[in-house]
Amino acid sequence: MNPDQLRPMLFIALAFILFLMYEQWQADYGPKPPPQEITATEQSSPETVGTTPQVPKSADVPVVPTPSVVSATDTPSAGTSPVAAAEQLITVRTDTVLATIDTRGGTVRTMDLLEYPVVIDQPDNPLRLLDDKLPKFFIAQSGMVGLDGAEAPTHDAVFATEKTQYVLEPGQSSIEVPLVWRSETGVTVVKTLTFKRNSYLVEVRHTVTNDGEKPWAARMYGQLQRTQVAEDNGNSFIYTYMGGVLSSEEKPYEKIDFSDMADADVARDVQGGWAAMIQHYFVAAWIPRVGTEDRPADINHYYTRALPGPKYAIGVMTPTSSVEPGQQGEFSLKAYIGPKDQVRMTNAAPGLDRTVDYGWLFLIAQPLFWALTVIHSFLGNWGWSIIALTGVIKLLFFHLSAASYRSMARMRKLQPKLVQLRERYGDDRQKMNQAMMELYRKEKINPLGGCLPILIQIPVFISLYWVLLESVELRQAPFMLWLNDLSTHDPYFVLPVIMGASMFIQHKLNPTPPDPVQAKVMMALPFIFTFFFLWFPSGLVLYWVVNNILSITQQYIITRRIEAEK
């Protein structure tokens, strides 16, 4: 392969590395919203924060303000929780979560995921996804907003409870946590949070009994508040998105990061949809009622806010509903708070599985993930599943790879003649290129034959990279021997060294560039890649090692056959 052919491959390799470095640079040093100082005035007067957008006027829907996303009691202060002191805390334990609910607003203040420990060697220390303490402040709030001044229980209202501990007992399928609020006008609201076995869905239902003399109209809302923190995924060269996401029919997966929230509030009416805060491997989302053939989804109001602290809020509000005197009404939302398990999220809401962010190669990455899970269902080990999937991909591209290796082998065989041409024509590149093309025609070699097949495979390789990076199934997944977590780097750097050695062998099988400078650069690439892959998740490095070994085997056989030809 001559220098002109090798140059695109070199650019692709370097561009891939630069892309990863740029993504991390953006995460560490990119533009961020300016901190908002909290003054004494702001702490004492919620009105100084401003009001959230209002629902547009229409003939039959009155103007209803969205809920106050911050109040005087919500502002953080040094050394304390950024929310008001709990009125009374209720603990709920199921087979999957341990949650803490505040009787002030029925806010879910903490949520521990019992099946996902922070580190693999401490199984009794579960990951805390929701947390009411700084710096990783992240809570799920919900409430009601009354129409025309009607009194309603917002996330600041204090509810009454009969129990403070709930445990999902063997044989139970769910737990219901009832909270009671009463107004002076005869309206009683029972807020019920339902937790189910083997589930990360929490149903929040407001049952309203109107014993007053006037109709009572209100809207329900659910919102997520969190601070922006640097997420530690164990790798300074890998960037994963943390921030808000909105879903609609027009935009099933729309990122609204913290800087977007700081720049401008979002106020949008959408049929169906959902609102979420996501991070690597985990998500919290508020989900309104999903439409059916008999009853289409409602038109819901979505909003975002940047708050003092700084904190950021994203939420959804359901349409207005009225309860007549002497009648009952029901308002409900669901919250998914848990891992980015694609099966669970697909069952929870349409498009929620898109929070497993495969980027612009989603259509290729999704089938690869499906194939990986099918293989895992037979092998039961994610490491062996990665190896098997790599083999399947190599089989699919076997003929393309063979064509590339045959072209490179023929180019390798022509190296002495190419060197002679360079010596003969010196700096006269025009004559040298003409002579090279004549030589290619004579030997029936396509100069691009070694590059095009590889270029076709690059989208598949990048898609698999994102599948292995984004899949929560690989988090803390053991393989064998010292590799007990495929989502973190190899603790002894054995795989990266093997990968570097395999790249060096591949380099030796390829034709040497006649240009001495380019030859030195190509020689350095295995060492450069080895350095960058030292801190890559071992599942990704395992894929590259297996792919390189299979490629070396195929290329070695083809090269020897070509060189044996007369």
Q: Supply 132's token pair.
A: 């009411």
| Confidence grade of residue 520 (pLDDT, cut at 50, 70, 90) | confident
pLDDT of residue 4: 41
Give every CB contact of residue 545 below 8 A, 6+ residues apart in sequence.
495, 498, 499, 502
pLDDT of residue 454: 65
Distance in angstroms (rounded) separating the CA atoms of residues 331 and 208: 8
Give every CB contact of residue 88 below 8 A, 6+ residues apart in sequence.
102, 103, 161, 164
Distance in angstroms (rounded) separating the CA atoms of residues 107 and 87: 11
Q: Supply 107's token pair.
A: 């806010």
- Structure-model confidence comparison of residues 413 and 236, the more confident one: 413
What 3-state DSSP class applies to 553? helix
| pLDDT tens-place string over residues 151-164 | 999 999 999 999 99
State mean pLDDT over 121-144. Answer: 92
Q: Is the four-CA dihedral 366, 371, 376, 381 of positive or negative sign?
A: negative
Distance in angstroms (rounded) separating the CA atoms of residues 194 and 108: 12
Alpha carbon dihedral 162, 164, 167, 172, in 10-degree steps, equals: 20
Lowest mean pLDDT among 122-126, 175-179, 223-227: 122-126
Q: Which residue has the tokens 């409602």?
A: 298
Q: Which residue has the tokens 């561009």?
A: 15
- Structure-model confidence comparison of residues 288 and 47, the more confident one: 288
Q: Supply 472's token pair.
A: 């929560």
State mean pLDDT over 117-122. Answer: 86
User: How many CB atoms lie under 10 A from the CB of residue 401?
Assistant: 20
Percentages helix, strand, coil for the chain (3-state, rounded to 5) are: 40, 25, 35
Q: What angle do CA 259, 50, 154 make, to 5 degrees?
A: 100
Distance in angstroms (rounded) separating the CA atoms of residues 419 and 402: 26
* Three-class DSSP labels, 135-190: CCCEEEEEEEEECCCCCCCCCCCECECCCCEEECCCCCCEEEEEEEEECCCCEEEE
Is pLDDT above 70 for 69?
no
CB neighbour class for 307 (10 Å; exposed up to 12, middle 13-18, buried from 19): buried
Is pLDDT above 80 for 245?
yes
Domains parsed from the chain with CATH numbers: 3-21+366-564 (no CATH), 87-232+240-357 (2.70.98.90)
Distance in angstroms (rounded) separating the CA atoms of residues 82 and 367: 43
pLDDT of residue 359: 79
- Structure-model confidence comparison of residues 346 and 457, the more confident one: 346
pLDDT of residue 169: 93
The closest of 201, 90, 78, 88 to 133, measured between CA atoms, is 78
| pLDDT tens-place string over residues 299-330 | 999 999 998 878 999 999 999 999 999 999 99
Highest-scoring range by mean pLDDT, 24-28, 46-50, 273-277: 273-277
Instruction: Give the amino acid at 232.
Output: D
| Confidence grade of residue 551 (pLDDT, cut at 50, 70, 90) | confident
Give every CB contact of residue 384 below 8 A, 6+ residues apart in sequence.
479
pLDDT of residue 204: 96
Average pLDDT, the chain: 79
Q: Supply 115's token pair.
A: 């099946």
CB 496 within 8 A of CB 534: yes
